Chain A
Amino acid sequence: MKTGTDITKKLVFAVAVAVVLALPWMTGPYTTQLFILTMTYGMLGLSFAFTIRVGLPRFDSAAWWGVGAYTTAILMTKADMSFWLTLPIAGIVSMAVGFLIYRIAIPRGMMVFLMFGMVIALAIQQLFGSVEFFGGWGGTEVIEAPAIGGLVFDGKRELYYLGLGFLGFNLICYYALMRSRIGRSWNAIGQSVKLASSVGINVVRYRMANVLISNFFLALTGSFYMAFSLVAVPATFGLDKSLNVIMYVIIGGIAYSLLGPLVGALILAFVPEYMRVAAEYESIITAVVIILVVIFLPEGVLGWVSGRARPWLLRRRPWVRSVGSKNKEPESG
């Protein structure tokens, strides 16, 4: 019986992977572009969900995303570097600057971290806009699309697969980190700071590691953003974008740190697109949806789906129970 569910799971997984791989061949360039955006926002959401595991809500995700984008853009235009070489540099810059700032914020607890995040979000945007070196409010451009050998990532399909590569790398790293020893310490901190420090976990140091890793991946996402948008404008990296990132996570389900942000980003990217409302009303509708989701589905769409689906599966096939409880464990936090 157990092998039966394993095969079902593998089948579902294989079909999902096949669908994701075949998507750009089934849809037009516009929809593919939407999927690329969804992946970018999903990666931002993943980084947010990563720090929320240690109880730190970050309101500066878009700012570090911008740091990655700007590092790539400036290294490519001013230092004439290749796209791939700028990736680790962007990550390291974001971690180094983040370390200086969070050295002050993280030991002061969640509330100061949160307010610091908002101020950083505004300050970094101002820095990009006001300093001439970064191209001012008009932004800075790159001309060259990334390429390996003869393969140039300039079409929508190529960019889709490039994004898939970035997303896969993010997911694998986050999954491995969450399953490791350090991931268990993070979970302990997220459940209770007092309890975690009483069993000998250095809360500040572990939180710092978590936030800096999240910073690294945010900057990578920024570099990927440069690959498909080819222009970085300060207005993109404002506080409102960071707030949107949080909405993806909440709508998907905050307890589902890997799948939740992706589902949330997918919903928020495609639903307004198909509702065809005027742009002025779009943000009002999104806001109303957020309020309704928080009041009526506090565990997000995925939490609602699994709450609905699990009893139904249990009634039909009692043997699902063991698998269900095994799956539940790493997800809840």
Chain B
Amino acid sequence: MDLSLFPQILLNGLMIGGIYALIASGFTLILGVIQVFNFAQGQFYMLGAFIAIAVVTNLGLPYPVAIIVALLATAILGALLYFAVIQWTTRSGFFNTMLVTVAFGTIVAQTAMLSFGSREAVLPPVVPGTLSLGGVTIPNGKLVVIAGAVVVMAALHFFMKTRIGVSMLAASENRDVASLQGINPKRVFWITMAVGCGLCGVAGALVAPVLAASGTMGSTIFIKALLVVLVGGTGSMSGALLAAFVVGIAESFAFHFVGHLGLLVIFVLVAILIFFRPGGLLGKPLPVPGE
């Protein structure tokens, strides 16, 4: 093994892990609070990347503004998904609701393909140059992604401590008791959808200067986020955070050594983990709707 590549692979793993952490925590948040399996999550990630690229290259605005625009746009779209579709389908069951999010994701993905084109797009590096650290060169762009992910996760952590965050947790604990305490479930639900989808939009905007954006980037990352949720335990936020970095680093190494079969290696590892630790690394299994 070439030791000089080791820090590079580790850094890549940390970067991918940060992105997984954002998407997976958005996913577990929505699953835990509204009990909706949001399949459109990956498409919001793709949309975030394309919006960031469009804002920077077409409107000429600075990159931080692009991140905020991507966050707001995907959050609004997430709330729209709740108001237009999900609130009418939750009554007809967990499974039907999930299918509707699949369909909504398809609409988002196809519309994005038609309007942004199916070719790959990439932003010019925001912070060009490299950082030399003890003989190891690190591209600044990747550090920016990691830093951005950490900042967003910290913001999410403090958001969950605010009044609305606590009422989200209360609604996920027990919906009926929460509404008895004066929490408006509908308000909590649409805010949860907006936050969960906005997290994906930010993730997409963060990777736009580093990875090439394409119309199919959403569905692959969603499956990886599911792996993260499986490893972290369904319904556990801190478990998802830990698992995101574990999976990200493991994937980075696996892809370096076995190429595209890396996904299979990861899958086998996850299967072995689930076999011995059914609740994932940290989490307790979530009560499954309908069972």
Contacts and interface: CB of A to CB of B under 8 A. Distances in A.
A129 interface: yes
A193 B287 CA distance: 13
A112 interface: yes
A246 B99 contact: yes
The 5 closest A-B pairs by CB, nearest first: A298-B92, A287-B103, A290-B103, A287-B106, A130-B260
A105 B290 CA distance: 18
B85 A295 contact: yes
With a 10 A CB-CB cut-off, give which of A121, A194, A288 has the most chain B CB atoms.
Answer: A288
Interface in B262-291: 263-264, 267, 270-271, 274-275, 278, 285-286, 288, 290-291
Interface of A: 52, 55, 57, 101, 104-105, 107-112, 114-116, 118-123, 126-127, 129-131, 193-194, 239-240, 243, 246-247, 250, 254, 280-281, 283-284, 286-288, 290-291, 294-295, 298
A239 B263 CA distance: 15
A238 to B, nearest CB: 9
B259 interface: yes
A128 B234 CA distance: 29
A110 B290 contact: yes
Contact of B102 (A105, A114, A243, A298): A243
Contacts, number: 117
Contact of B288 (A109, A240, A291, A294): A109
Interface of B: 37, 85, 88-89, 92-93, 95-97, 99-100, 102-104, 106-107, 110-111, 113-114, 219-220, 223, 226-227, 229-230, 234, 259-261, 263-264, 267, 270-271, 274-275, 278, 285-286, 288, 290-291
Contacts of B226: 115, 118-119
Contact of B263 (A110, A114, A123, A284): A123
30 contacts: A57-B95, A101-B271, A108-B285, A110-B290, A111-B285, A111-B288, A112-B274, A112-B278, A115-B234, A116-B271, A119-B223, A119-B230, A120-B267, A122-B263, A123-B263, A127-B264, A130-B260, A131-B261, A193-B291, A194-B291, A246-B99, A250-B96, A254-B95, A281-B110, A286-B103, A287-B104, A287-B107, A291-B100, A294-B89, A295-B100
Given A104-B271, A119-B223, A290 B230 contact: no
Contacts of B102: 243, 246, 287, 290
Contacts of B88: 295
Given A127-B261, A243-B102, A298-B93, 5 more contacts: A109-B288, A111-B285, A116-B230, A283-B110, A287-B110
Contact of B291 (A55, A118, A247, A288): A55
Nearest to A107: B278
Q: Which interface residue of A55, A105, A287 has the most chain B CB atoms within 10 A?
A: A287
Nearest to B220: A122
Given A239-B223, A283-B110, A119 B103 contact: no
A250 B99 contact: yes
Contacts of A122: 220, 223, 263
A123 B264 contact: yes
A247 B102 CA distance: 10
B259 A291 contact: no
Contacts of A107: 278
Contacts of B220: 122
A240 B270 CA distance: 23
B291 A109 contact: yes
B106 A284 contact: yes
B48 to A, nearest CB: 20
B243 to A, nearest CB: 13
Contacts of B286: 111
B202 to A, nearest CB: 23
Nearest to B219: A239
Nearest to A130: B260
A136 to B, nearest CB: 11
B92 A294 contact: yes
